[in-house]
Amino acid sequence: MRHGARVFFQAALALGLVGFAMAQDPVGPLIRKAIVLRQRVLEQTRFTVAPRQLPLAGKNEKLLLLDQLGDPWLFKVEDTAHPISLHGEVAASMLSVAADGRVPPVHSVSLIINSESVHGSVQRLLPITSTLETVQPEKLSRVQLEEVLELQVFDWMAGDNDTKGDNKGVLGDGGLVNFDKSQFWRFVGSDRLDWTYHPNARPGNRPEFNVLIEPYTNKVWKSWIAGKLELDPAPLERAIERWELVDDRLVVELLQGFAWMRSVILGSDDAYTARAFLVWVLQRKRTLRAEFSAFLARASRARGRGAIAFAGQREIGETRRQESIRLHELIAGLEARLARLAKARATRPSGADSLEVPIDQEARLRILKFETSNEPFESALRDLLELRRRRAHPMARAGIDEYVERLRRFQRGEVPRRDMERVLHGRGY
């Protein structure tokens, strides 16, 4: 059988059996209701540009917004060189509702900024006090270590191998959230469940940078293998049991939009069809327990002492009860937010989507001069830093900061000179 025909046959067989996965779907209706409510919250939200912009890391231009309740939202401009990353973040946030709930909601939106339509993603910022970027695994609290292991199961289901410490936010109560899923299934077909798997490491990177961006769970398992910490695999098993409760049909529903978009953006050969992608996801879901059991066995052999393994499946009723509680709480929170939005006085009427971002013309002209010449970046950088020193308005400083970051990305070869001017705070889109 030719490869294309074989993939099509496997896909048809897998998706044809989806309807027989479970006779009952106890949590599916709750998950669907939560997804609908999340969208209604977005539709009822009105944005204004936050007067004080914060320094926001990452390669995509960002803008801090406020809703009518005064809560902060992050708008992130679509990376036109890799548009699939935006759709991946949206899909990952929906998938998280099914059996995790720790990825903040991310929505695909277009906003009118300075009279131009800008496409990107928007998400409400959670009250994160810090991240795990500088936290050694052996310094985690017991609860945080358990949550890191639970999040590892989601990241494997999401095909996300980019969850470094800086992508795990710490809330005020010490709990963790999982964000920045732009690599959603980026390495489909080639990723491995292993503490040595680090696809973002590059030979040209500084060694310390490769360590900084290493998946955080890699560091956890390396610490365990080295005997620096002790852990219990029970959190992994609990997370797997939650996925085992989710109907395959629901997984297909949540991801079929992304699967189609992925096939359009990435190509049309066998590996990139929407159907083939959904088969990969369902196969991963069905083999979660076997994959992690084998992972634990390999890690135990590497450690050489104190082997760990799963205790065995719990009564499914207990998992169902806990998931129902979680989803009812999520739904109640979304309904409460809708009620608050309905009472709050919007800063702009529905449909008035135009946002104005102040333009620092002097900074813009300076970067435009650099963009249209061959001058060294050091001179432009020096002038921009001097301009920033003289600016009092936070928005003006934020705009200059974006130009400075763009200059440094130019130096690293990440941005062509002709694109220097296109930043949100400095010029608007």
Strands, sheet with 48-49, edge to edge from the N-terminal-most edge strand: 48-49, 62-66, 72-77, 116-124, 107-113, 354-355
Query: What digits encode the pLDDT tens for the residues 342-394?
Result: 998 665 544 445 787 777 778 888 888 888 888 888 999 999 999 888 877 66
pLDDT for residue 6: 44
Q: Is residue 90 part of a domain?
A: no
Please indicate, yes or no, whether residues 173 and 319 belong to a single structural domain of this protein: yes
User: Is 31 within a domain?
Assistant: no
Same domain, 296 and 378: no
Q: Strand order in 176-178's β-sheet?
A: 128-131, 168-171, 176-178
Are both 211 and 292 inside the same structural domain?
A: yes
For position 269, what pLDDT does the model report? 74
**Pair 177, 291 in one domain:** yes
Q: Does some domain include residue 69?
A: no
Q: Please tell me the total count of domains within the chain.
A: 2
Task: Please report the pLDDT score of residue 58 as a whole number.
Answer: 59
What tokens were used for 407?
């200059």
Domain with 417, as residue range(s), is 358-427
Q: Give the angle 228-234-240 at the CA atoms, nearest 5°.
A: 120
pLDDT, residue 163, reads 87
In a domain, 230, yes or no: yes
Same domain, 292 and 363: no
Q: Which residue among 307, 326, 345 closes a domain?
A: 326
Polymer length of the chain? 429
Residue 278: count of CB within 10 angstroms of its CB: 22
Q: What is the DSSP string of 229-260?
A: ----SHHHHHHHHHHHHS-HHHHHHHHHHHHH
Same domain, 306 and 412: no
My answer on whether 289 and 389 are in the same domain is no
Q: What pTM, to 2 d.p., does this model score? A: 0.80
- Are 178 and 102 in contact by the 8 Å Cβ rule? The answer is yes
71 located within any domain: no
The answer to which of 147-156, 224-233, 316-325 has the lowest mean pLDDT is 316-325
Q: For 315-356, how does the pLDDT look when each residue is reduced to its tens digit (9 = 90+)?
A: 778 889 999 999 999 999 999 999 999 998 665 544 445 787
Q: How far apart are CA 355 and CA 73, in angstroms?
A: 14
Asked whether residue 7 is domain-assigned, the answer is no
Mean pLDDT, range 123-141, rounded to an integer: 92
